[in-house]
Amino acid sequence: MGKIQANRNQSRKDVIRHTAARLFRERGYTAASMRMLADAVGVEAPSLYNHIGSKAQILQEICEEVANDFLVQIEQVTDSKGSATQQMAEVLHFHSNMMVQQYDAVYVANHEWKHLPEAAIARFLEQRRQYEKKLVAIVEAGIAQQELQPVNAYTAVLTMLAALRGLEFWQRHKKQVAAATLQADMVALLLNGIVKK
C-alpha cells in the first residue's frame, strides 16, 4: 500500500505540474491563479497544498528541470567528440525537439523565470549562461578548424538560439507547415547560413 500510495501521489503531483505548466504558459505565472489550477485539476484550491509546497515552488521545479535537461544534453554532445558541424547539428536537433516535445515547460522557463525567487533567478541565469558558453565554444572550434564561416561566435549563437525559440510559433502555423518540416527547414537554414560551402 505504501508503494501504491507513493505512485498515486507521484502521478497526482505530475498532473498538477503539467497542468500548471500549461496554465502558466497560457496566462502567465502571475495571472494564472491557484483557483484556476485547482479547477483544471478537478479539486478545490486548498487541496492542491497536499501535493505541492507553494505556487512559487511549482515554477521553480519547472524552470530547474528545463535548465537541467538542456545542460545534460549539450554535455552529452560536447563529450561525443564529433566535428563542430556535427555537434552543432546535434544541438540544434535536441534543442528543437525540446521546443516541440516539452513545449509548455520550455516556454514557461523562457518567459516566466523573472518571477522566481531571487536566489533561483541567479541559479537559472547561470545555467543559461553555461549553455550559451558551451554553444559558443562549439562555434569557435568550428571557425578555428575552418569548418564554419569566420563570424562573430556570440552573434551566431544568439541568432541560432533566437531562431530556435521561434519554434514557439510553430503552433500558429501548424496548418501551413508541419512541425517536423519547420524544424528541419529551420535547422537547414541556420546551418547553410554559417557552414562554409
Partner DNA sequence: CCTACCGATCGGTAGG
Interface with its own copies (CB under 8 A): 26-31, 111, 114-115, 149, 151-152, 154-156, 158-159, 161-167, 169-170, 173, 176-177, 181-182, 185-186, 188-190, 192-194, 197
C-alpha cell, 24: 502558466
Q: Which is nearer to its own copies, 74 or 182 (CB)?
A: 182
Degrees (nearest 5) of the Cα angle 118, 124, 127? 145
Q: What CA–CA distance (Å, rounded) separates 66 from 69?
A: 5
* 2 in contact with DNA (CB under 7 A): no
Q: Which does 45 bind (CB under 5 to 8 A by kind): its own copies, DNA, none?
A: DNA
Residue 54 contact among its own copies, DNA, none, beta carbon within 5 to 8 Å by kind? DNA
Q: What angle do CA 175, 90, 134 make, to 5 degrees?
A: 120
Q: Which stretch binds DNA (CB under 7 A): 42-50, 90-98, 107-115, 149-157?
A: 42-50
Helix (H, G, I), strand (E, B) or coil at 195: strand
Nearest-5° angle of CA 190, CA 138, CA 181?
30
Q: Which segments within 72-197 are labelled E, that is strand?
A: none
Please identify which residue in 3, 4, 5, 46 interacts with DNA, judged by CB under 7 A: 46
Distance of CA 152 to the CA centre of its chain: 25
Q: Which is nearer to DNA, 14 or 44 (CB)?
A: 44
Nearest partner of 163 among 142, 140, 135, judged by Cα = 135
DSSP 147: S
Mask: binding to DNA, 49-88, rule CB under 7 A, as x and -? xxx--xxx--------------------------------
11 binds DNA (CB under 7 A): no
CB atoms within 10 A of CB 61: 17
CA distance 197 to 78: 24
Cβ proximity to DNA: between 30 and 146 the closer is: 30
CB under 5 to 8 A by kind: which of DNA, its own copies, none does 36 bind? DNA
Nearest distance, CB of residue 38 and DNA, angstroms: 7
Residues that bind DNA (CB under 7 A): 12, 32-36, 43-47, 49-51, 54-56
